């Protein structure tokens, strides 16, 4: 067989191989995108948060048995959906997508303090005006709007899917 015959016979095979590689790549990318979005469910985030109810508060602690407020939210997001958020409450507010009070969803973070530039506490909204947070009584659920908290903002660290 001459060199030119082999070369012309290989062209369709190379084209077919390239198309196959493209199809496999597209299929893998689509499945990875679907897997990552379905892996970001509120139920996973809530499950990890509730698992730590009663854990004690320790300033600067990031879990898994002791938490401060932002250590708790950082831990919950990382362990549940592998989402890394900043360490402190102020940095979490500054580094995540802001949402309005009217657009708050379960799993969003609620910030407290003197102003948006002086945040001293963070909790995770769990619906019906309540949050789960780590404060001096440990990890508890409590009302967002309480006399001892001054809400200054809300953010959405991740777009979560909801089962309900």
Is 69 part of the annotated catalytic residue set?
Answer: yes
Q: What is the DSSP letter of 55?
A: P
Rounded to 5°, angle at Cα 103 from 98 and 105: 90
Residue with tokens 């908290």: 149
Q: In angstroms, how far is CA 21 from the centroid of its own chain?
A: 32
- Considering the candidates 52, 68, 108, 121, report the single residue annotated as catalytic: 121
Q: What torsion, rounded to 10 degrees, do the Cα atoms 109, 91, 151, 160 define?
A: -10
- Considering the candidates 3, 69, 117, 164, report the single residue annotated as catalytic: 69
CA distance 30 to 28: 6
Is 121 part of the annotated catalytic residue set?
Answer: yes
Q: Which residues are paired to 135 by β-bridges?
A: 138
- Considering the candidates 133, 150, 163, 164, report the single residue annotated as catalytic: 133
Task: Confirm if 158 and 107 have CB atoms less than 8 A apart.
Answer: yes
CA distance 107 to 123: 9
Q: In angstroms, how far is CA 88 from the centroid of its own chain?
A: 15
Catalytic residue numbers read: 69, 121, 133
């Amino acid at each position: 067989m001459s060199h030119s015959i082999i070369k012309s016979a290989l062209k369709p095979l190379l084209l077919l191989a390239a198309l196959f590689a493209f199809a496999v790549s597209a299929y893998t990318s689509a499945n990875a995108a679907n897997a990552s979005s379905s892996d970001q469910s509120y139920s996973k985030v809530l499950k990890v948060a509730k698992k730590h109810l009663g854990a004690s508060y320790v300033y600067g602690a990031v879990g898994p048995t002791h938490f401060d407020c932002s250590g708790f939210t950082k831990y919950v997001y990382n362990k549940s959906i592998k989402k890394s958020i900043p360490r402190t409450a102020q940095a979490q507010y500054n580094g995540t997508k802001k949402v309005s009070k009217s657009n708050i969803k379960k799993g969003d973070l609620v910030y407290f303090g003197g102003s948006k530039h002086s945040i001293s506490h963070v909790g995770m909204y769990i619906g019906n005006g309540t949050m789960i947070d780590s404060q001096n009584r440990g990890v508890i659920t409590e009302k967002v709007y309480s006399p001892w908290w001054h809400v200054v903002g809300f953010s959405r660290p991740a777009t979560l899917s909801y089962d309900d």
